[in-house]
Amino acid sequence: MNTLLRLFVLFCFVTWSGHASAATTAKSKEKTPAKTPAKPEASAKAKADTPTKAEDKPATPSPAAVSTISIEDISGFEKYPKQIQSLVQSSLALTRLELSYMYGSNEPNKGGMDCSGTVYHVLQFQGLKGVPRQSDEMCNWVEKKTQLHLTPTATSFDSAEFDDLKPGDLLFWTNTMETKRKLPVTHVMIYLGKLKKSGKRVVFGASDGRSYAGLRRSGVSVFDFHLPKAESPTRFYGYGAAPGLLPMEPEPAVIAAVTKPVEKTVPAEKPAPPPVEKPAPPKEEVRKAVALVSEAKPEPKAEPKKTVVTETKPKSTPTTKTKSSSGTVKKSTSTPVKKKTTPPPPMSSVEKTLDRAVDSVRRFFR
pLDDT tens for each residue of 103-115: 999 999 999 999 9
- With respect to residue 312, please indicate whether it lies within any of the assigned structural domains: no
**Quick one: 183 exposed, middle or buried, by C-beta within 10 A (0-12, 13-18, 19+)?**
middle
pLDDT computed for residue 359 by the predictor: 83
Average pLDDT, the chain: 75
More confident position, 27 or 249: 249
Under a CB-based contact definition with an 8 Å cutoff, are residues 223 and 205 in contact?
yes
pLDDT computed for residue 249 by the predictor: 65
What does the pLDDT look like over 223-274, one tens digit per residue? 999 999 999 999 999 999 999 999 876 655 555 545 555 555 555 555 566 6
**Quick one: 188 exposed, middle or buried, by C-beta within 10 A (0-12, 13-18, 19+)?**
buried
Most confident of 229-233, 303-307, 339-343, 349-353: 229-233
- With respect to residue 231, please indicate whether it lies within any of the assigned structural domains: yes
- With respect to residue 122, please indicate whether it lies within any of the assigned structural domains: yes
What range does the domain containing 221 cover?
49-251
**Quick one: 256 exposed, middle or buried, by C-beta within 10 A (0-12, 13-18, 19+)?**
exposed
Asked whether the predicted pLDDT for residue 38 surpasses 50, the reply is no
Percent of the chain predicted with pLDDT > 90: 47
- With respect to residue 332, please indicate whether it lies within any of the assigned structural domains: no
More confident position, 294 or 48: 294
What is the three-class DSSP state of 128?
A: coil
What does the pLDDT look like over 111-148, one tens digit per residue? 999 999 999 999 999 999 999 999 999 999 999 999 99
What is the rounded average pLDDT of the residues 359-365? 81
Beta-strand relationship, 321-323 and 170-174: unpaired
Least confident interval from 96-100, 157-161, 201-205, 251-255: 251-255
Across the strands, what pairs with 216?
A: 211
Asked whether the predicted pLDDT for residue 281 surpasses 60, the reply is no
- With respect to residue 195, please indicate whether it lies within any of the assigned structural domains: yes
Task: Give the whole-angstrom CA distance, residue 241 versus residue 25.
Answer: 64
Least confident interval from 192-201, 243-252, 302-311, 356-365: 302-311
- With respect to residue 287, please indicate whether it lies within any of the assigned structural domains: no
- With respect to residue 278, please indicate whether it lies within any of the assigned structural domains: no
Task: Give the whole-angstrom CA distance, residue 121 versus residue 108.
Answer: 9
Asked whether the predicted pLDDT for residue 333 surpasses 80, the reply is no
pLDDT computed for residue 99 by the predictor: 96
**Residue 190, domain CATH:** 3.90.1720.10
Total domain count for the chain? 1
Under a CB-based contact definition with an 8 Å cutoff, are residues 240 and 146 in contact?
yes
- With respect to residue 314, please indicate whether it lies within any of the assigned structural domains: no
Amino acid symbol at 156:
S
> Buried (b) or exposed (e) across 264-279, using 16+ Cβ within 10 A?
eeeeeeeeeeeeeeee
